[in-house]
């Protein structure tokens, strides 16, 4: 039985970066439209069932209410789960979807949303659709197309090995045990309190550890990309120490904000390698959001591994299906 899941975060794309930079605001009305188009794309592939994560705004319910019965033939249901209005909703939803046998999940959100999903499961193929702020992990793709690709994958029409890649992740090891993770970057801040979750004051940043560092991306990983580009397929990451030094980089650290940053040193890090923190006590941000307070006596390292989420290449999936005749029929 083929099933597709949808995890949409109504809170993505609404943080402080709309006040301190020039980030766009994606309202929940537009997200509802995206969910509606994803539903119709999935439905066109004739999967058996679509499961949607519930949320405080009701994106799934509102998307369904705008569709007349004739528009969608697939059975659609909202997951039976308690909504907390936090990242834990996405983590719980993906775990429930695993139990229910979902074959592919479409996520709507930014790096933080996909990190929350990956904390719950990294085995189900994902199609991450960008709706957040500093998005490196999710991609800009038409929602209808994302839905079609998800249905193709869930139905087993194509060989997953041809269209799915396993991404890297950063593992935070605290006092000998894994305590958290990031998909794109771990940032060490000279702070002792969380405050606003998003990072916008670069004077606090002392260290950046990245799985990917691309000069055409947005956010702190872009700093590394302007110095030493690292792509998702490279079997290494990048470690930077910021502060007074001979090297300066100009990078798009926020939407519409390009700054010059001083870098003490940088180096590539191998898969499986541990990186120590340069400062304690400190605050650790994961994928752009302040999360973890580190005390002076804590032993904390960051390790890079290629055991992150499995991500579908939407273009490859649809082309493979087309070559196999999935979209055609003879009368």
80 and 26 in a common domain: yes
Tens of pLDDT, residues 241-261:
999 988 999 998 888 889 999
**pTM listed for this prediction:** 0.92
Q: How many Å separate Cα 224 from the centre of its chain?
A: 19
- Which pLDDT does position 330 carry in this prediction? 84
Q: Which domain holds residue 42?
A: 3-167+309-323
23 and 138 in a common domain: yes
Task: Say how far apart CA 153 and CA 136 lie, in whole Å.
Answer: 23
3-state helix, strand, coil in the chain (%, to 5): 25, 35, 40
At residue 207, the 3 state secondary structure works out as strand
295 and 155 in a common domain: no
Tell me, what CATH number does 192's domain have? 2.60.200
In the block, tokens 């709507």 appear at 108
Assess if residue 313 is contained within a domain: yes
* Region 174-198 average pLDDT: 83
- Which pLDDT does position 198 carry in this prediction? 61
223 and 237 in a common domain: yes
Tell me, what CATH number does 117's domain have? 3.40.50.10330
Q: How many Å separate Cα 247 from the centre of its chain?
A: 30
Task: Say how far apart CA 212 and CA 217 lie, in whole Å.
Answer: 10
134 and 177 in a common domain: no
Assess if residue 174 is contained within a domain: yes
Assess if residue 330 is contained within a domain: no
Assess if residue 256 is contained within a domain: yes
Q: At 183, phi and psi to the nearest 5?
A: -95, -30
Assess if residue 328 is contained within a domain: no
Number of helices (H), then strands (E), belonging to the chain: the values are: 9, 17
160 and 23 in a common domain: yes
At residue 113, the 3 state secondary structure works out as helix
Q: How many CA atoms lie within 13 A of 103 on its CB side?
A: 20
Strands 75-78 and 289-294: unpaired
Task: Say how far apart CA 127 and CA 240 lie, in whole Å.
Answer: 30
Tens of pLDDT, residues 258-286:
999 999 999 999 999 999 998 999 999 99
Contacts of 143 (CB under 8 A, 6+ apart): 33, 34, 35, 37, 38, 41, 129
Share of the chain above pLDDT 90, in %: 77
- Which pLDDT does position 13 carry in this prediction? 55
Assess if residue 331 is contained within a domain: no
10 and 150 in a common domain: yes
Assess if residue 139 is contained within a domain: yes
Task: Say how far apart CA 22 and CA 293 lie, in whole Å.
Answer: 29
148 and 75 in a common domain: yes
How many other C-beta atoms can be found within 10 angstroms of the C-beta atom of residue 179?
Answer: 15
Higher pLDDT: 15 or 40? It is 40
Q: How many Å separate Cα 295 from the centre of its chain?
A: 28
Task: Say how far apart CA 318 and CA 175 lie, in whole Å.
Answer: 45
* Region 190-214 average pLDDT: 79
Assess if residue 329 is contained within a domain: no
In the block, tokens 């907390």 appear at 84
Q: How many CA atoms lie within 13 A of 17 on its CB side?
A: 26
- Which pLDDT does position 18 carry in this prediction? 45
DSSP secondary structure string for all residues of 123-176: SS-EEEEE-SSS-SSSB---HHHHHHHHHHHHTT-S-HHHHEEEPPEEEEEETT
151 and 52 in a common domain: yes
161 and 205 in a common domain: no
Choose among 232, 15, 215: nearest CA to 113.
Answer: 15
* Region 292-303 average pLDDT: 94
- Which pLDDT does position 64 carry in this prediction? 93
Burial of 298 (0-12, 13-18, 19+ CB in 10 A): middle
- The total of structural domains in the chain comes to 2
237 and 222 in a common domain: yes
34 and 143 in a common domain: yes
């Amino acid at each position: 039985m083929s099933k597709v899941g949808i995890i949409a975060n109504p809170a993505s794309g609404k943080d402080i970066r709309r006040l301190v930079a020039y980030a766009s605001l994606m309202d929940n009305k537009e997200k509802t439209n995206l969910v509606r188009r994803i539903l119709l794309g999935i439905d066109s592939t004739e999967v058996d069932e679509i499961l949607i994560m519930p949320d405080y705004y009701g994106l799934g319910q509102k998307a369904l209410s705008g569709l007349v019965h004739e528009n969608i033939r697939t059975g659609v249901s909202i997951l039976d789960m308690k909504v907390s209005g936090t990242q834990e909703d996405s983590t719980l939803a993906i775990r429930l979807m695993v139990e229910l046998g979902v074959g592919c999940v479409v996520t709507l959100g930014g790096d933080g949303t996909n990190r929350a999903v990956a904390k719950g499961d990294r085995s189900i193929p994902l199609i991450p659709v960008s709706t957040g702020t500093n998005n490196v992990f999710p991609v800009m793709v038409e929602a209808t197309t994302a839905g079609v690709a998800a249905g193709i994958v869930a139905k087993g029409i194509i060989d997953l090995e041809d269209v799915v890649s396993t991404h890297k992740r950063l593992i935070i090891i605290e006092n000998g045990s894994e305590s958290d993770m990031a998909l794109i970057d771990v940032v060490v801040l000279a702070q002792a309190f969380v405050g606003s979750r998003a990072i916008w004051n670069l004077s606090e940043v002392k260290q950046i550890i990245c799985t990917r560092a691309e000069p055409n991306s947005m956010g702190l990983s872009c700093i590394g990309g302007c110095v030493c580009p690292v792509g998702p397929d490279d079997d290494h990451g990048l470690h930077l120490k910021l502060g007074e030094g001979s090297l300066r980089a100009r990078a798009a650290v926020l939407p519409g904000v390009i700054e010059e940053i001083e870098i003490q040193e940088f180096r590539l890090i191998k898969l499986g390698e541990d990186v120590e923190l340069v400062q304690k006590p400190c605050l650790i941000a994961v994928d752009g959001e302040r999360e973890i307070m580190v005390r002076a006596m804590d032993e904390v390292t960051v390790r890079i591994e290629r055991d992150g989420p499995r991500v579908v290449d939407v273009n490859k999936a649809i082309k493979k299906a087309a070559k196999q005749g999935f979209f055609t029929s003879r009368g």
